[in-house]
Structure 1
């Protein structure tokens, strides 16, 4: 598993409003496109350099493709990265203030310390 690559996906998608909308509407297609076109770009590198070996594991790809943030947490994705991206995608679907954040907290409430390791 590559927590780095999952966190990189969450980080880069969250910073691009068009990608946020694309991921909301077509998660499977966005994950496949990002993995083939962007996964190997170096973060904060503007010189066109890239690596060639980064790929999602099947369970990571499945969790990202279904917006399964609970499974992403289990896999070690950084909770702040998942929370901020999923707020951007789904907070608008709730009438109650902080509606999505409350759902996020409730769905993760079954976890006890120690939490999954989020070190990369």
Structure 2
């Protein structure tokens, strides 16, 4: 896994409103220049947070990526997010 590249894509969407807008408009195009495996690219394009965390992305970055794309905090967002991760066993998350 190109952990840095996945985390960088998550960070860019989380921290940069124009990157988030570009990602929303064309996730495949946004991800095209990045050095990602096919599995990483698919998980990012699909906003599959469970798969991203299972692949080793940092949970903090994955949460904030999803939060940005959801338009901000709400209880339904948190319930959905937590539900997606229910039962997932996460290994080492050090960077």
Name 1:118's counterpart in structure 2: 93
Cα RMSD for the two superposed structures: 1.8
Bigger radius of gyration: 1
Does residue 1:69 correspond to 2:49, yes or no?
yes
Q: Does the C-alpha gap of structure 1 residues 91 and 110 become closer, same or farther in structure 2, counting only changes over 3 Å?
A: farther
Name 1:18's counterpart in structure 2: 18
- Paired with 2:22 and 2:12, the residues of 1 have a C-alpha distance of 13
Q: How does 1:41-52 map to 2 (within 5 A)?
A: none
- Structure 2 spans left out of the alignment, 5+ residues: none
Q: Please state how far the C-alpha of 1:98 moved relative to its aligned partner.
A: 2.3
- Paired with 2:57 and 2:30, the residues of 1 have a C-alpha distance of 18
Name 1:42's counterpart in structure 2: none
TM-score normalised per structure 2: 0.86
- Structure 1 spans left out of the alignment, 5+ residues: 36-54
What number of residue pairs does the alignment pair up? 95
Q: Please state how far the C-alpha of 1:91 moved relative to its aligned partner.
A: 3.9
Q: How does 1:94-105 map to 2 (within 5 A)?
A: 97-105=74-82
Moved over 6 A (4+): none
TM-score normalised per structure 1: 0.70
